[in-house]
A = this chain, B = another copy of it.
Amino acid sequence: MDTELRQTLHRRGLRMTPQRQLVLDAVAELGHATPEAICSKVQEIAPAVNITTVYRTLDLLEQLGIVRHTHLGHGAPTYATGEHEHVHLVCHRCGTVDEVDAGLLDDLAEVLASRVGFALDPTHVALSGLCSRCETSDSEADV
């Protein structure tokens, strides 16, 4: 499997370096993480790796379709491997990130496709709202 990636790189005159392998491993292991988190993870093993390299590698891996990033609302985007297909639910209030099956958006995707001709990419989306806990405390406080 990594062989495949290696070949893809090679075909483009690029190489699979230790840094790139480490970044990819970190992304796969962390599930979804910010560039900084990924960098920290990588640096546990190779402290010399610079965050610049992490950014550059993430860009590269994304162009190759190996990883994808999701904007979770405010600041830093999170990166995940392609297999990591789910929808993020971000709570306005507490910032908790839940994950639900991407299939939940299938109906919506169909509607958007037929009505607007828009091809929805469910995994890039972070839906926002209130998680069950905050919603409860919200209605209590709502006097």
Taking Cβ atoms with an 8 Å cutoff, the residues of A that contact B are: 71, 73-74, 77, 89, 91-92, 98, 100, 104-105, 107-108, 111-112, 115-121, 124-132, 135
- Across-interface contacts of A126 in B (CB, < 8 A): 71, 125
- Tell me the interface secondary structure of chain A in the complex: mixed
Within the oligomer, what is the number of copies of this chain? 2
Supposing A71-B71, A71-B74, A112-B100 touch, asked if A118 and B105 sit within 8 A by C-beta, the answer is no
- Across-interface contacts of A135 in B (CB, < 8 A): 117-119
Supposing A108-B104, A108-B107 touch, asked if A119 and B125 sit within 8 A by C-beta, the answer is no
C-alpha gap A86/B94 in the complex (Å)? 24
